[in-house]
Each structure stands twice: as structure tokens, then as C-alpha cells.
Amino acid sequence: MAWRSSGASNRDLIENLWRNRLITHPEVKEAFLKVDRAHYAPSFPYDDSPQPIGHSATISAPHMHASAVEHLLPYLVPSSSSPERPAPRVLDIGSGSGYLTAVMAELVGERGVVVGVEHINALRELGERNVAKSERGRELLQSGRIRFRVGDGRKGWVEPGEEAAKWDAIHVGAAAAEVHASLLDQLNAPGRMFIPVDDDGGGWSQHVWCVDKDEKGEVTRKKLFGVRYVPLTDAPKE
């Protein structure tokens, strides 16, 4: 029902995603309502479709972003019952437009952090610039709840000064050649990763995997559905 979820406004779009049960949790709906997609999509922001944003990157369709947040939700929100996660740490690899980075930042609470990683500085700047279009976004940037970095997403990311800290949730917004060992190493226990993987190496067969690590460090993987993402790759050579 994704194609039926487009709307004339941000609220229309989110209400349609809710009506079509692509968003099922009230807190997820509220987070999406707080982030106007018009600040992130170059045109037709309330269409439920992907769009190019330059530099061979795209902003995913809203229903894909909704699926990512719905699957990661238990690890995005602060938990009083889990002393390991009073302030969720979230890594958004291939943050692109910054849209999903901003949505997840609405869920992690005042002490949480979402770090968006891009492979070229132009995309890092794009995400930061888009978030800063709203007063709320500027607050999240200034507080440090949202941070944008440049790096090789296949290697994950270690924040300077926070070398011992791992990620409660990892979202990957581009098709990886595999579930990279460095990402698994950096995933907290417990923690969850939402990652599209290129099954055949040619980009024709991609599936999103939900990868869980439990309290003992045991890893389980579940194939969710087929997708078509741009590849998680090197920065272009100058």
C-alpha cells in the first residue's frame, strides 16, 4: 500500500502511512510528524517515493524510512528497565538528506545521540543544512543530539572521546556487500541493525536484514524483504 500513502502535506503523508499500517506505533507517528519532509526532499516531498539528492545518493521513500524506524524502535527509545540504554546511541550510515537522522533524534530522548555518517563531505553538509532549516533542527544540532560526520560507513564510526561506547541501533541506508564485521563489533549487546545487503554482488538482488545481538553477544539475522538501494561504497576519486 506504499503507493497509496502520498499526501498533500506532511501530516497527510504521515496519516496515510498510519492508516495503511506502515507506521503502527504512536511514538513513531509523532516523531515523523515533527520532521517536515519538505526540508529534505528536493521536490514533491509528500510523495511516498524515493528521490535523487545528488552525488549518486537518494532519499528513500517515506514507507522505507517508516519500516526502518518501526523495526529499530525498541533500541531507539530510552529504557528505564534497561540500565544499558538510558540514553540510546544510534548510528545512521548513509545519512544522505538527514531526514531519517532527524526522525530518530526525536525518539532517543534528551540524553540520546544520533550520528549520521556520509562518505563525502558534500552529503554531510547537505544533511546538516537540511536539519538546520527548522528551529527544532537547529536545537538538535546545537545540543549535539544530532551530529554529522564523514567516514567509510562500512567501517562504522567511533566518536572521538567516546571510543568505548557502542551503538544501540545501527541503520544502514545503502546496500552493503555483506554485514560488515566492523558494524557487528560496534553494535551494543543488546542491539539491533537494519541493513540492506546486496545478495549477488551485482545490485539485482538486495534484501533488508534485521540483525540482532543479545545480551550475551549472540548474533541472529532475519531477512525481511527485497529492496533496491544505491551501494554502500568508497568516496568518489577526485
110-148 per-position pLDDT tens digit: 999 999 999 999 999 999 999 999 999 999 999 999 999
Residue tagged active-site, from 43, 56, 60, 134: 60
Q: Is residue 30 part of a domain?
A: no
State the CB neighbour count (10 A cutoff) for residue 125.
Answer: 14
Q: Is residue 235 part of a domain?
A: no
Residue 225 banded pLDDT, cuts 50, 70, 90: confident
Compute CA distances 154 → 25, 91, 159, 184, whole Å.
30, 12, 15, 11
Q: Is residue 79 part of a domain?
A: yes
Distance CA 136, CA 207 (A): 34
Q: Is residue 178 part of a domain?
A: yes
- Cell 506505533 identifies what position? 25
Distance CA 161, CA 13 (A): 39
Q: Is residue 195 part of a domain?
A: yes
CATH code of 132's domain: 3.40.50.150
* Confidence (pLDDT) at 199: 73
Distance CA 111, CA 143 (A): 10
Whose CA is closest to 176, among 123, 229, 118, 223?
Answer: 229
Q: Is residue 52 part of a domain?
A: no
**Count of domains in the chain?**
1
Higher pLDDT, 17 or 223: 17
Coil/strand/helix, residue 227: strand
- pLDDT one-digit tens code per residue, 159-196: 988 888 899 999 998 777 778 889 999 999 999 999 88
Domain that holds residue 188: 60-227
Q: Is residue 154 part of a domain?
A: yes
Q: Is residue 47 part of a domain?
A: no
Angle at 105 between CA 102 and CA 107, to 5 degrees: 125
Is 97 among the residues known to form the active site? no
